[in-house]
Amino acid sequence: MNDKKAGIPFWRKAVTWLVRLLTGSLFIFSGFAKAIDPWGTILKVGEYVSVLGLQIWPSIILIFVFGLCAVEFVVGCFLLTGCYRKSCPIVAMIIMCFMLPLSAWIMITEPVADCGCFGDAFVVSNQVTFVKNIFICCGLIWLLLNNTKVICLITPAFQWLSVVSSGVFIVFIELCGYFYQPLIDFRNYPEGAAIFDTEEDGEISGGLYVFDIDTDEEVTELLASKKGPELWIMIPDVAKVSPATTWKLNSLYEWSQDNKVGMAAVVSGSKEEIDNWEDLSMAEYPIYLADDTSIMEVVRGNPGVVFSEDGKIVWKSTLAAINIDDFLSSEVGKSASDFGIDKERLLMNVIFIYLIIEAFLILISFTPRLARLLTRGGLASSKGIRLH
């Protein structure tokens, strides 16, 4: 952990730490903001693929999104703490050699409204994105020249543990967002919000407009006025719904009938696709039509499930994450409200554990250094006593 060149000026050390802080924080925020909502990042990458006229398998896009978010986050952590002082800025610069030209192309041609570099957490213009990437590249050039001359917070002997803990942490966040729901909801329909937004005079103000599947008449205001508990099955692409989900959906409907909970589906697809799905699922609950983008704005997953009370969202989940056996159990006093998880507490616990691990690695990294300082101080004191 000794400086490569201990005699470098203090101002140079200070600037290097400042650059580490700024570039590392940007990489961490960018990776985390996209990882928290992998479905949203997949949709944004899909926009790029569509604009470029490419044909890429969805599984390849999924792997790319998971990998990109994880690499950005881990690289940001290492830039911030000074780990892998030589190789980390090189990896970050390789990423920026792709991102900087991409952001320049987006700024000039504007094929998408925003680059999606910070997900839905913080939307910036394409011009600001390009300028931000220029500053990041300048910071990385500084680190390429100076990073090895300033100490790291975690000694090289323990840096592999930081790789493991950072990777496990961010992949866990991604898996929660993909298989359940984002642990932080940056969209317009977080838990506690109205599933159908209305003004005081009853006019619809939200982005989710729902239509009768037979008459094409808008029924958003009618659905917004519903009271009591409701289960909403949200299907943004009915053609891609697996036939295996029909048993779950029908079981949920059976449960809702037994527990006096309303249930309806809001789907997107062509009339032929919806008719085929109705025949396949033998759905007895009402089905409404909405735009696929609006549905994905409300809930992630295909299908997704939203439980509301008096029009307010209580919890959301993908259908795959719901344990139907729990719903169908005869446990006394169990209501639909009990099946949501405390996402905020889960996220805080995971972050706390991760920070404790990183703090422990920093502590044990500095223990030998502190021991040497204390030993030198003790020797100096002993010599001072002998002088007397």
pLDDT tens digits, one per residue of 147-176: 999 999 999 999 999 999 999 999 999 999
Residue 194 in 3-state DSSP? Answer: strand
pLDDT band at 383 (very low <50, low <70, confident <90, very high): low
Q: Which of 61-75, 147-161, 248-262, 343-357 has the lowest mean pLDDT?
A: 248-262
Q: Which of 92-101, 282-291, 330-339 has the lowest mean pLDDT?
A: 330-339
- Does the pLDDT value for residue 89 go beyond 70? yes
C-beta separation of 314 from 340 below 8 A: yes
Q: Which of 245, 323, 237 has its CA nearest to residue 280? A: 245
pLDDT at 2: 47
Preceding peptide of 303 cis, ω within 30°:
yes
pLDDT at 119: 85
Looking at this protein, which amino acid is placed at residue 61? I
Backbone angles phi, psi at 345, to 5 degrees: -65, -40
Residues in Cβ contact with 335 at an 8 Å cutoff, skipping those fewer than 6 apart = 229, 259
Q: Which of 136, 18, 116, 120 has its CA nearest to residue 75? A: 136
Distance (Å, whole) CA 223 – CA 57: 37
Copy the structure tokens of residue 76: 């940001």
C-beta separation of 267 from 211 below 8 A: no
pTM of the model: 0.86
**Top-confidence residue, 331 or 130:** 130
- Does the pLDDT value for residue 3 go beyond 60? no
Distance (Å, whole) CA 129 – CA 43: 19
Distance (Å, whole) CA 262 – CA 285: 9
CA distances for 276 relative to 254, 272, 273, 284, 295, angstroms: 22, 6, 5, 14, 20
Handedness of CA 124, 125, 130, 135 (dihedral sign): negative
Q: Please, how many CA atoms are within 13 Å of residue 324, restricted to the half-sphere of its CB?
A: 14
pLDDT tens digits, one per residue of 176-228: 999 999 999 988 899 889 888 655 444 444 568 899 988 889 998 888 888 89
What is the H or E stretch that residue 245 is in?
helix 245-258
C-beta separation of 174 from 70 below 8 A: yes
CA distances for 72 relative to 34, 148, 152, 220, 362, angstroms: 10, 21, 19, 40, 21
Looking at this protein, which amino acid is placed at residue 221? E
Distance (Å, whole) CA 174 – CA 41: 11
- Interval 46-55 mean pLDDT: 87
Copy the structure tokens of residue 142: 């500084």
pLDDT at 354: 97
pLDDT at 86: 94
Q: What is the mean pLDDT of the chain?
A: 87
Q: Which of 354, 302, 339 has its CA nearest to residue 178? A: 302
| Residue 331 β-bridge partners | none
Residues in the chain: 388
Residues in Cβ contact with 357 at an 8 Å cutoff, skipping those fewer than 6 apart = 161, 165
Q: Going by DSSP bridges, is the β-strand pair 262-267/287-289 parallel, antiparallel, or unpaired? A: parallel
CA distances for 101 relative to 95, 105, 127, 197, angstroms: 11, 6, 13, 40
Distance (Å, whole) CA 28 – CA 71: 10
pLDDT at 385: 44
DSSP-derived secondary structure letter, 335: -
